[in-house]
Structure 1
Amino acid sequence: MKKHLRLLLFLQLTVLFVSAQDSSKVVRKGFIPKDKLFELLYVPFDVPAGTTEIRVKERYDKMKVNVLNMGIYDANGYQDAAGFRGWSGGAKKEFFIAEASASTGYIAGNINAGTWNILVYPSTIAPEGLSWTLEITLVPGKQQKIVEGKPAAVQLNTIAGWYRGDLHMHTLHSDGRRTTDELVAEAKAKKLDYIISTEHNTNAANLNWGRYDSKDLLIINGEEVTSTRYGHWNAIGLDAKTVVDWRYKPEDGIIGKYVGRVHQDGGLAIINHPFYDKGDKTFKFDEKEFDGIEIWNGEWNVLNALALKWWDESLRKGVKKIAIGASDTHIASGSPNNLGRPQTVVFAKGLSKNAILEGIKKGRVYIAAGDSVSLQLTVNSAGKTYGIGDQLPKNTAADVHLTVKGCKNTVLMVIGDKGLISSHQLADDVQTIDMKVKPGSSSYIRVEVRKADQTMVALTNPVWL
């Protein structure tokens, strides 16, 4: 709080009455020096009774270098999520909130009288510092009808099977460049069974996914909890109204509180692209608190290989984290991050939020480069059949059966806690492999399928022996 107050010393305030009967404008200006990078600055302004719309415009210098992120909290305060009314990060330079509508990323509803706060957060500052201006227009008017949101359906069927989906994506509600209409249309065209909405630091999209309810595409709520300085993580399986806060540091020691909030909704917490920047590990929070790791983000590359190595080393130490893959898509095409590439394929008891999350939590998951790739891994032991994510009885022989489709001219590798167990050339589009694993030779087996250039085609979570 002291840091926030120190930053307020750079603040100037001007109030302009644009039209006595229509609106008033509040202009706030300030300067952020280079040494205040990543500091949170709350810019307060008073909203009089009778206001039905708030419009905010942001300007700052050296916009090709500086980045100033932006969000807003209403009169309920900014100390927790109670007053949260939206976040656009650095994706927008202006937004509005009205009683019946709002800019993407922001939440329409009652414009309560009192002190509101705009949160500005510099994630890049030029050596000369950053000068900024906020223009806030307060518009009075006749009270509008509050429009209730329409969250997505939570269950489409109860048919057990393998379901294909994408766990990481963005639209105009954060820094994506497509509408929710366009995203849903593309997901259906690619025949995905489910998608998980993960906008940066906002639940605005989650409030209205029910507009797209259908019998063949399940939409699950989520949020990419985003701290530029400390890393990103996905909260998946949230209730529509849940917002998971991001405003804390690793040294605060409270990440467990926010992961616990996700679990309270029945959701899971997934570490995103942990080697996002130049090959350095950019995720700084305590990974022990998290359920899984996004080891495959978009096209396979060296950063994904580093994430895979980190996950594999954890497995060998007996740390069970679920591996998932996702596109992190922002645009419809022309990017290494295209929707549904890769896909997280989950064995679930049905196409529902709870069933998909249960399947992921139990590790009944493999990752495929696309919809033409499929992989079946089963293990027979002591008269029973086990699959990906299952635990066999200790010290029993394991008869492994693999069926792979869509992986012609690749190499399949069976991997254990001591490294490579066996490798197999896949010459045909459909191929089966049978092998035995001796009791006690490994605590798990998992499978990777790669092209000759080491590009990943598919990989599984472990079967635990």
Structure 2
Amino acid sequence: MGGAGWYRGDCHVHSVYSDGELTPDQLTAEALAAGLDFLATTEHNTAAAHGEWSAARAAGLLVVTGEEVTTRTGHWLALGIEAGEVVDWDYGVRDGALARHVAAVRRGGGLCVAAHPHAPYPSGDFMFPLECLDVVEVWNGRWSSDLPWNADNEAALAEWGRRIAGDLLATGRWQPAMGNSDAHLPGQLGTPQTVVHAASPTTPALLDGLRAGRSWIAESAAVQLDFTAEAAGRTAGVGETLDTGGSPVTVRVRVSGVEDGSVRFHTERGKVHRAGLEARWTTSARESLFVRVEVRHPDGGMAALTNPIVLR
């Protein structure tokens, strides 16, 4: 593992150092079996596990130091903090404290992620404005071990998807999505996992890729996806902007590792096209502000989804 490329990771993981059932060494074995290149240690409101990943590092697994900040009105992930650092969690949406703690994590080069914004338990719903953070966790695997996609994830995805066009028109930017297992139990790690393009397999480079939205989400390492848009001799991939020069845009998707299913193309007009697992679709910057895709199983469950390619 080295150099620029695509890396698979799970950035929401719990061990026996908070409320998980597995040790860091056991989670390391599961991460390697799940085909991961990196994971984040994100115990609830503690740094107790930060120094317990020597076996992971010896096996070549990158460990991002983090925390799940469990506030009274929602949880968020502080990724890339210093070893031993604990981000304060004792506040709620009425206290006006979130921005201060997010700013401190960002000053240190860290990434702030809204975790499971529609989780089905008290304080699990993320009641702060999503735009206060860098990334939204639209796919959380904890509550769906038998079926890796559920109504809470569907709600988070819909909320995120509806904001892309408005954010682009208002600010020229959009908030990336990611997916994590939120593993607490054996067999959960890596379902789902985020596949990120990074300049190198280092914490700063991986966080840069996630921050830029150069990433997509897969239900497992078996799923492979290639997603590009081409116009006027130029090509862009997931998370990038394509200058079309006013020319028609050809969007191509190729998926493997999914036994059956379909690719669904989304723009600011909603679901605009449905095709098989190797698909080609034509649009333009006039018709589509952006394009993103979802790969669905026949029962509607998610196999993969991408951040958008922006067209201009």
TM-score norm. by structure 2 comes to 0.91
CA RMSD of aligned residues (A): 1.9
Matched, 1:223 2:67: yes
Residue 436 of structure 1 aligns with which residue? 282
CA distance in 2, matches of 1:279, 1:311: 21
Residue 268 of structure 1 aligns with which residue? 111
Matched-pair contact (CA < 8 Å) for 2:75–2:124 = no
What's 1:342 paired with? 192
1:134-283 maps to which residues of 2 (within 5 A)?
158-210=2-54, 212-214=56-58, 216-227=60-71, 229-277=72-120, 282-283=125-126
Change in Cα spacing, 1:362 to 1:437, as seen in structure 2 (3 Å) is: same
Relative to 1, partners in 2 of residues 1:425 and 1:209: Cα closer, same or farther, differing over 3 Å? same
Q: Which ranges of structure 2 fall in alignment gaps of 5 or more residues?
A: 142-147, 169-173
Corresponding position of 1:377 = 227
Deviation at 1:255, TM superposition (A): 1.0
The one-letter amino acid of 1:285's match is: F
Instruction: Measure how far apart 1:253 and its partner are.
Output: 1.6
Q: Give 1:41's aligned residue.
A: none
Is residue 2:258 matched to residue 1:407?
Answer: yes
Shift of 1:254: 2.4
Partner in structure 2 of residue 132 of structure 1: none
2:288 is aligned with what amino acid?
A: S
1:225 touches 1:235 (CA, 8 Å); kept in 2?
yes
Moved more, 300-309 or 432-441: 432-441
> How is 1:352-363 mapped onto 2 (pairs within 5 angstroms)?
352-363=202-213
- Provide, for residues 179-201 of structure 1, a one-character-per-residue CA deviation record: whole Å limited to 9, x for no partner: 11111121122221100111000
Match of 1:10 in 2: none
Deviation string 1:311-339 (CA, Å, 9 cap, x unpaired) is 01111322611111111111113xxxx10
- Partners in 2 of 1:407 and 1:183 — Cα distance? 25
Residue 292 of structure 1 corresponds to: 135
Q: Does residue 310 of structure 2 align to residue 460 of structure 1? A: no
Taking structure 1 as reference, are residues 440 and 166 closer, same or farther at Cα in structure 2, changes over 3 Å only? same
State the AA in 1 paired with 2:182.
D
Q: TM-score if structure 1 supplies the norm length?
A: 0.62
> SS state of the match for residue 164, structure 1?
strand
Identity among equivalent pairs (%): 39
Distance 1:397 1:318, change over 3 A: farther
Q: Counterpart amino acid of 1:452?
A: P
Tell me the SS of whatever aligns to 1:261. Answer: helix
Larger radius of gyration: 1
Q: What do the CA deviations read for 1:147-198 (whole angstroms, capped 9, x no partner)?
A: xxxxxxxxxx542111111111100110011111111121122221100111
Query: What is the match of residue 423 of structure 1?
Result: 274
Give the Cα–Cα distance (whole angstroms) in 1 for the partners of residues 98 and 47 of structure 2.
19
| Inter-CA distance 281–205: structure 2 relative to 1 (3 Å threshold) | closer
**CA–CA distance in 2 between the matches of 1:316 and 1:458?**
21
Amino acid at match of 1:180: P
Q: Does the 8 Å CA contact 2:225/2:253 hold for their aligned counterparts? A: yes
Q: Which residue of 2 aligns with 1:331?
A: 185
The answer on whether the counterparts of 1:158 and 1:352 sit within 8 Å (CA) in structure 2 is: no
| Counterparts in 2 of 1:413 and 1:291: CA distance versus 1, 3 Å | same
Q: Which amino acid aligns with 2:225?
A: L
8 Å contact from structure 1 (residues 256, 289) kept in 2: yes
C-alpha contact 1:279 1:303 (8 A) present in aligned 2 = no
Whole-angstrom CA distance in 2 between matches of 1:392 and 1:190? 33
Q: Which has the higher strand share?
A: 1
Given that 1:255 and 1:286 are in contact with CA atoms closer than 8 Å, whether structure 2 keeps it comes out as no
> 3-state SS of the aligned residue for 2:209?
helix
Deviation (angstroms), 1:433: 2.2
* Aligned mates of 1:198, 1:281 — CA distance in 2: 16
Pairs within 5 Å for 1:58-137? none
Q: Structure 1 residues 244, 449: CA separation in 2 closer, same or farther (over 3 Å shift)?
A: same
CA-to-aligned-CA distance 1:61-93 (integer Å, 9 cap, x gap): xxxxxxxxxxxxxxxxxxxxxxxxxxxxxxxxx
Tell me the alpha carbon deviations over residues 405-447 of structure 1, each in whole angstroms, 9 at most, x when there is no partner.
1123201111101112210033xxxxx3222212311110000
Please give the alpha-carbon distance, in whole angstroms, between the structure 2 residues aligned to 1:207 and 1:408: 40
